[in-house]
């Protein structure tokens, strides 16, 4: 994606979320904010890729004995997640049965 510049002061604009959770571009210098239409910003933040949400399906997810790194509970739901790239191994995703903490194992 091309770098965006502030129409007011021509400083670099960076993607952020506003208080509604919408993606906007914000000028690093004067604070000018621009809406992003159509989700043109591709997230490359590694931290966001780590976020995994397992929704709803506790009834069908298998459980295993594994220690939750957050609360120390010894049982978690798990499933395998296929990564998009063929040369990366699949990842096992755990979710604590007690506190709901989600983590992954490589």
Residue 99 touches Zn ion, criterion: CB under 5 A: yes
Cα(35)–Cα(24) distance, integer angstroms: 5
Q: How far is the CB of 60 from Zn ion (least distance, A)?
A: 20
> Which residue in 44, 88, 90, 105 is the catalytic one?
88
Q: State which residue, 14 or 30, has the beta carbon closest to Zn ion.
A: 30
Cα(26)–Cα(98) distance, integer angstroms: 40
Backbone angles phi, psi at 59, to 5 degrees: -60, -30
Q: State which residue, 88 or 99, has the beta carbon closest to Zn ion.
A: 99
Q: State which residue, 79 or 101, has the beta carbon closest to Zn ion.
A: 101
Cβ distance 71 to 97 under 8 Å?
no
What distances in angstroms separate CA 83 from CA 48, 80, 87, 89, one per listed residue? 15, 9, 9, 7
User: Is 74 designated active site?
Assistant: no
In the shown chain, the binding pattern of residues 16 to 45 toward Zn ion, with x for contact by CB under 5 A and - for none, equals -----------x-xx-x-------------
Residues annotated as part of the active site: 87-88
């Amino acid at each position: 994606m091309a770098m965006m510049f502030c129409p007011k002061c021509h400083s670099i604009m960076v993607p952020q979320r506003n208080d509604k959770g919408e993606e906007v571009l914000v000028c690093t210098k004067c604070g000018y904010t621009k809406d992003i239409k159509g989700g043109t910003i591709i997230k490359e933040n590694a931290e966001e890729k780590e976020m995994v949400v397992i929704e709803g399906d506790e009834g069908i997810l298998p459980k295993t004995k594994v220690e939750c790194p957050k609360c120390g509970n010894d049982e978690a739901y798990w499933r395998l997640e296929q990564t998009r790239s063929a040369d990366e191994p699949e990842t096992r995703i755990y979710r604590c049965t007690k506190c709901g903490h989600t983590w992954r194992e490589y």
